[in-house]
Amino acid sequence: MIHQAIEILNAWDTHQPQFTLQTSGSTGTPTSITHSRNALQWSAESTLKTWFDHQKAPIQLCALPFNKAGGFMQLIRASVWQSPIWLGEPNSNPLESIENYVLFLPQRFEISEQNGIETNKPIPFNILPFSPALWDQFPPQLLSITPMQFVVMNSNPNSQARLQNIDTVLLGGQNISDEIEKSILNEFPNTRFIHTFGSTETASHFAGREIKPGKTHFHTTAGTSINANQNHELMVRNPTTQDQWITLSDKVEILSNTEFRWLGRTNLVINTGGVKVHIEDLENQISQLLNWPLFSFYCMGETHPKFGEQITLVTTHQNVTLEEILIELQALNPLHRPKSLRHISKIPMLPNGKIDRNVGNNA
């Protein structure tokens, strides 16, 4: 982990002109996307301007993979902002074992610690192992996590208490359930949660919404233009897209030049009997009707001779039958109800916290 971070920070410090990121692969084969140094710097500056209004750059804590956009951009922000960043191995609960973190501290900071970690390449950071005193002196103020990581942290009293001391949390990677939003509003009154919206094609988030009562739409970061095509798919233009319009697989309602409401993924759709069912919307409905937490199940489409595709419910809940489930799902449109049930021991997850839906489709 430290070696990988050093490689990225050294490449940035030596003015490498381009960087290649890999998409998550949650809905298809992972692909590589290359961004220019200028585009990445713009993204980091735009995040600071939009969410922190050019205030003093926050101290970050990173427990996301560096080979994906989320973790990679945290390193770039630390370099561009010249701000401290705590780094740890990606895991489901980033605030459980804080003693495993190391602090990358910009060299402009004066420190009394003499036990820094040696690097094989020069970077403008001192690398310091965790100590309680160092954690207190440079407490993390900005945390980027996925909804799955939030669920795990919020179920652990120690992690929840630490999370309540974070100033700002960027929550991204996928949709957020009503259950998670209620937890945030009820249990974290002093922490600002921002549901971010972005893709590897845009290097990082280009929009976000502060999780507040009644706040349902996203607001773009400074310098981003949005539109929608005839299929209501989101179109984006900013320096990370080389100032060209690109179309994302997201159905939206455009509210203004800077605001939109997200309606669902256009590539997470099951076409059953001519009816297009948005998987994530369906999963939220099932979660509420069955009182099942997200990440304990997911829906997928399977070939059906009559309907073209049928909805299959994949779950870790072992002692339940399809018949029992359908009794609880009577409120759903009949075409939205699962036609088959598959039991598994563990939901397949990608390193970035998204469900690996390709496992089910290839099984």
> Is residue 250 domain-shared with residue 306, that is, in the same domain?
no
Q: Which domain holds residue 9?
A: 2-263
Looking at the structure, do residues 123 and 22 belong to the same domain, yes or no? yes
**Cα 122 to Cα 57: distance, rounded to the nearest angstrom:** 23
3-state secondary structure the chain: CHHHHHHHHHHHHCCCCEEEEECCCCCCCCCEEEEEHHHHHHHHHHHHHHHHCCCCCCCEEECCCCCCHHHHHHHHHHHHHCCCEEECCCCCCCCCCHHHCEEEEECCCCCCCCCCCCCCCCCCEEEEECCHHHHHHCCCCEEEECHHHHHHHHCCHHHHHHHCCCCEEEECCCCCCHHHHHHHHHHCCCCEEEEEEECHHHCCEEEEEECCCCCCCEEECCCCEEEECCCCEEEEECHHHCCCCEEEEEEEEECCCCEEEEEEECCCEEEECCEEEEHHHHHHHHHHHHCCCCCCEEEEEEEECCCEEEEEEEECCCCCCHHHHHHHCCCCCHHHCCCEEEECCCCCECCCCCECHHHHHHC
pLDDT tens, position by position, 155-211: 999 999 999 999 999 998 777 878 889 999 999 999 999 999 998 899 999 999 999
**Are 17 and 143 members of one domain?**
yes
Q: What is the pLDDT of residues 88-104, one digit of tens each?
A: 998 889 999 999 999 99
Do 140 and 174 belong together in one domain?
A: yes
Cβ–Cβ under 8 Å, residues 163 and 192: no
97 CB-near residues (< 8 Å, 6+ apart): none
CATH code (residue 59): 3.40.50.12780
Average pLDDT over residues 110-123: 75
Q: What residue type is assigned to position 135 of the chain?
A: W
**255 and 297 co-located in one domain:** no
Residue 26 — φ and ψ, nearest 5°? -70, -25
Whether residues 231 and 213 share a domain: the answer is yes
Instruction: Please give the pLDDT value at position 363.
Output: 46
Segment 131-145 shows an average pLDDT of: 95
Identify the domain boundary among 263, 282, 306: 263
Q: For residue 197, list its beta bridge partners.
A: 207
Domain end point (choices 263, 283, 299): 263
- Domain match, 184 and 307 both: no
Q: How confident is the model at residue 119, as a pLDDT? A: 78
What's the pLDDT tens digit per position in 57-92? 999 999 888 888 889 999 999 999 999 999 999 888
Looking at the structure, tell me whether residues 291 and 256 fall in a common domain: no
**∠ CA(296), CA(300), CA(306), 5° rounding?**
140
Residues 309 and 324 in one domain: yes
- 142-145 vs 18-22, strand pairing mode: unpaired
Residues of the chain with pLDDT > 70: what percent?
95
Indicate yes or no: pTM above 0.85. Answer: no
Domain stops at, among 206, 232, 263: 263
Count of structural domains within the chain: 2
For residues 277 and 195, membership in a common domain is answered with no
Give me the mean pLDDT over the 119-130 stretch.
Answer: 88
One domain for residues 165 and 309: no
Do residues 204 and 149 both lie within one domain?
yes
Q: How far are the Cα atoms of 64, 71, 239 from residue 47, in angstroms, in the given order?
A: 18, 14, 13
CA–CA separation, 163 and 96 (whole Å): 10
What is the tens place of the pLDDT at every residue in 21-69?
877 655 555 678 999 999 999 999 999 999 998 678 999 999 888 888 8
CATH number at residue 280: 3.30.300.30
Phi-psi region of 257 (alpha: psi -120 to 50; beta: other; left: phi over 0): alpha
Reading the block at residue 162, the tokens are 């630490």
